[in-house]
Structure 1
Amino acid sequence: MQFEELSKVKQEAIINAGLQVFGKSDYRHASTDDIARLAGVSKGSLFYYFHNKKELYGYLLEYAQQTIMKELRDDAIFQEPDFFVMMERSLKKKAELMKRNSYIFAFLLKAYPEVSEDAKDVVYEKYECLIDSTMTGILKHIDVNRFKDGVDVDKVWKLLYYFAEGYMRPFYTMEEPFDIDALADDFIGYMNMIKQYFYKEEYL
C-alpha cells in the first residue's frame, strides 16, 4: 500500500487528521479538504494514498480498533479470572490511551452507528469483527463460576460494552475538556453496582 511507504511522521499526521475530522462529523459531512489541510498534504496526495473517502474511512476504522486492542493485550488484563476486575483494568488502560489520543474514541463513537449508505457496510463489517475478537480475548480466562447460575456472561459483557459507549457519547459533544480519570472512576462505580446483581454473594 502506497500510504505505508510514507514516513511515520507523515502517516501519523494523516491518521490523526482523519480521526479528528471524522470524529467531529458523520461520514457524509466530514470533509476530505479539512483532512488534507490538517495533515499538511494536498487533497490530490490524500487520494493518491487512499483512492476515495470510503477507503480512508475503512483504514481509520481498522487502525483505531487495532490500536485499542494492542493497548489491551496485557497478561495482567486478559489472564485475570475475575470478570469485573478485568473490565476495570481494561477501562483504565483505555483511559490512558484516551489521554494520549482522544480522537480515536471520538471517531469510534461517531462511527457506531454510521447511518450513511456510503459507509455503513464497512462500519458494520469491522464492528462485528471488533466485537467478536474483543469478546474472545476477554472471556478466555474468566472464571464463570463467580456468576450466579443461569447468567449469560457474553451478554453481561455486551451490556457493559454498549453501556460504556452510551455513557461516553455525551462527553464527545462537549467543547470543553473533561476529566477522563474521574469519568473512569465513575463508570467503575456503575460496574460495581452491576456486579452486585450478577455475581454470587461469596465473590462480592
Structure 2
Amino acid sequence: MNEKFFALPKEKQNTIINAGYRVFSQNSYKKSPMSEIAGEAGISKSLLFHYFHNKKELYLFLWDNCAKLTIKYLTEYKCYEQTDLFEMMYRGMKAKIRIMNQYPNMGSFVIKAFYERDADISSAIQDSFKSYKALKADKILESIDTTQFAEGIDVKMMYREMYLASEGYLWEMQRNGAVDVEKMEKDFTEMLNFWKKLYLRKEVKNERN
C-alpha cells in the first residue's frame, strides 16, 4: 500500500475507508468496481489506485482495518482488563456501538468478506480471521474469573453462545439502519441480566441483588 494514503488527513482516510466498506458490503468482490468506491469517496479512480495498487490490496486493507479497529476500541474500553465476563461484554458492546457510529457499513463488510468465495482473496481472509480469533479468544479466556459461574458450566461454550447472540443482535440493529444507542444499551443490559440468572452461582447472584 502506498504510504501516501496515511499522509492524508484522517477525515479523508475515513471517507475512502467508508466508501470501500459500503461498496464491498453490497456486492461480491468481483462485482465491486473501484470506480464506484472512488466516486463515493470524492476522488478519481486513478488517485484511488495511487493509494492502493489494486482492488485486492484495498480489500485486504479494509479487512485488516476491521480487526485493528475492533482491538483498538476494545482496549480503550478496557475490555481485556476485566475479570467479570458480563462487565467485559457490556464494555465490548459500548465499544462496538462507537465503531458502528464511525463506520456504518463495517459490520456488513465483515460478514460479506468472511463468506466471500473468490479464490483470489478467500484464503487470505480465512487465514487472517483464524489468527485474530485465536488472539482475541486467548485474551478473554485468560482474564475471566471462572469462580463466579455455577458448577459444571462449560465456560468456552457459554462464552461462544453469548458472543454469537451479541454479534447477531448488533448485526440485526445495523441492518435496520441508524444506530439507536439508548435502545441497544437497554436491550443488551436485559440480555446480560438474563445470562447472569442462567450462569452465575447462587451466592454470586445474591451478592449482586
Normalised to the residue count of structure 2, the TM-score between the two structures is: 0.82
In the alignment of these two chains, the number of paired residues is 203
Which residue is equivalent to 1:114? 116
Once the two structures are TM-superposed, the CA of residue 61 in structure 1 deviates from its matched residue by: 0.9
CA contact (8 A) 1:99 1:180 kept: no
Counterpart residue number, 1:30: 32
CA contact (8 A) 2:25 2:105 kept: yes
Who is 2:105 aligned against? 103
Of 57, 79, 91, 1:89 maps to: 91
Structure 2 distance, partners of 1:113, 1:192, is 32
2:55 alignment partner in structure 1 = 53
2: CA distance between counterparts of 1:12 and 1:97? 12
What amino acid sits opposite 1:67 in the alignment?
A: L
Once the two structures are superposed, what CA deviation does each residue of 1:71-115 show, in whole Å capped at 9, x if it has no partner? 111474322211111111111122123223323223223333334
CA shift in 2, pair 1:110/1:168, >3 Å: farther
Q: 1:26 to 1:180 in 2, by over 3 A?
A: farther
Percent of paired sites with the same residue: 31
**8 A contact 2:20–2:37 mirrored in 1:** yes
Output the CA distance in 1 between the equivalents of 2:19 and 2:186. Answer: 30
Using the alignment, how far apart are the partners of 2:77 and 2:173 within structure 1? 30
CA 1:184–1:106 in 2, change beyond 3 Å: closer, same or farther?
farther
Q: Partners in 1 of 2:2 and 2:182 — Cα distance?
A: 38
Q: 1:202 Cα shift?
A: 1.6
Determine whether 1:198 maps to 2:195.
no
Q: Unaligned regions of 5+ residues in structure 2, if any?
A: none
Pairwise CA distance, 1:196: 2.2
Once the 2 structures are TM-superposed, how far is the Cα of residue 187 of structure 1 from its aligned partner?
2.7
Assess, with a 3 A threshold, how the Cα gap between structure 1 residues 69 and 180 changes in structure 2: closer, same or farther: same
- Contact preservation (8 Å) 1:135, 1:154: no
1:39-66: per-residue Cα shift (whole Å, max 9, x none)?
Answer: 2222233233323222211111111111
Give the structure 2 partner of residue 11 of structure 1: 13
